[in-house]
Amino acid sequence: MPEDREAFGSVAAVLHRLDLRGVEGRLAPHLPRPELDGDEPVGVVRELIAAVRDRGDDALIELTRRLDGVSLDSVAVPRAEFDEALGRITPELREALEVAAGRIAAYHRTQIHQPVTYEDEGAVIRSYDVAVGRAGCYVPGGLAPLASTLLMTAVPARVAGVEEVVVCVPPVRATGRVDDVILAAAAVAGVDELYSVGGAQAIAAMAYGTESVRPVDVICGPGNRYVAIAKREVAGAVGIAAAFAGPSEVVVIADPSVDPRYAAIDVIVQAEHGPDGLAWLVCWDAEVADAVSAEIVRLTAEAPRRAQIESTLASSGYAVVVDTPQQAIEVANAIAPEHLQLQVAAPETLLSLVRNAGATFVGPWSPASVGDYVAGPSHVLPTHGTARFASALTVGDFTRHHHVVELSPDAFARLAPHVATLAAAEGLDAHARSASMRLDDLAAGTGQVQR
């Protein structure tokens, strides 16, 4: 069914209507998807990365002046400024940062795997996790000082046991400095190094290194499409934690039980991050869609970040009407959004049908905003459809699974003939001989092994 650009009631400038009632078969082909790549942004990102690789700090300083409007002598921010900023913020803000950091740490400690030993007749396999030595956290800052993102990346890295935690964040254009709340969050999270640089150039600096920024082992954190593309471009030279953590996304599924204000504000919550994301409302009752859409118009008109909200909704804001609750979940699974909210009377009946979402928030008292700050799990979530195969940032993104194999002579004698047989079948003579040679020596030395 073709998209109807006439919106519900008075919503013409805010939400686009997509009426899928009566559509037969799969709904996915009828759903629009934003295109974040394309030749132009990829080409721009590659040029920025090449500049940083070739010219190091000089390129970072030049690009910060040209793209952020800030002139710097150095991209490094002294550690002393973290504690100074912590003293400047209000007691209420400091407490909020500490509460959030504590909950994030407590939740992520549940993800730590204890060493495991598996033993089978003399074959001993020990496995354990080893943290990377150096993690780089990207914190967006162009449109808002996202101290929460610093906590949601740096704290899990610390819990994982990373030795050095590095943060890159763009400076504030108006002041030329990093915002105090970001610096204070760095103090709370125990960040080791912070650099006043943003965008694709920050990703390049952390991946390849400059005179000031030593390269890291893993890069994490969300960003705009240029940041997300840059992470994809440097993958392989450095580990990239979580999949395509790009512009913010939300799908709110609402039924007649919902307070229209709640559903509306939760659509707006992610839209206020700015362009290139998506904000969807999905209903199986057109009157609910009308009521929520009208509230979106009202709340947007009075929002301080009205321009950012309208930009997102103009490009990727949809009010979708389907026939059944099951079809609403089908829409959500096809979009695979970063945030999924089930604002319905019986969410448990739908929750089992959810397959593709970065995180799901159930009921009227569990808005995604709680997940963004204090629930505990990281708010760095897969976007742009990657929730089909990827998950939220976890401790596992900062660790490597390592195993140690040790066999007794008897265990080797029992397993080696199978090694030799399989290796011979593959035509790998040296593999086979590495087993048979030892079997021969074992037999000759003990007289207990017969071939």
pLDDT of residue 96: 97
83 dihedral zone (left: phi>0; alpha: psi -120 to 50; beta): alpha
pLDDT of residue 219: 97
Domain range for 261:
16-30+246-388
For the annotated catalytic residues, the residue numbers are 338-339
291-350 pLDDT, tens digit each: 999 999 999 999 988 988 998 898 889 999 999 999 999 999 999 999 999 999 999 999
Pair 379, 417 in one domain: no
Pair 283, 357 in one domain: yes
pLDDT of residue 33: 75
The answer to whether 182 and 150 are in contact (CB under 8 A) is yes
pLDDT of residue 7: 41
pLDDT of residue 244: 67
pLDDT of residue 91: 97
pLDDT of residue 6: 41
Pair 299, 372 in one domain: yes
Pair 284, 233 in one domain: no
The answer to whether 380 and 88 are in contact (CB under 8 A) is no
Pair 142, 161 in one domain: yes
Amino acid occupying residue 23: V
For residue 87, being part of any structural domain is answered with: yes
Pair 48, 197 in one domain: yes
The answer to whether 168 and 399 are in contact (CB under 8 A) is no
pLDDT of residue 312: 87
408-451 pLDDT, tens digit each: 999 999 999 999 999 999 999 999 999 999 999 998 885 444 44
For residue 143, being part of any structural domain is answered with: yes
Pair 126, 226 in one domain: yes
All residue ranges of the chain with pLDDT < 70 are 1-13, 34-39, 142, 242-244, 446-451
**Domain count of the fold of the chain:** 3
Q: What is the CATH number of the domain that holds 346?
A: 3.40.50.1980
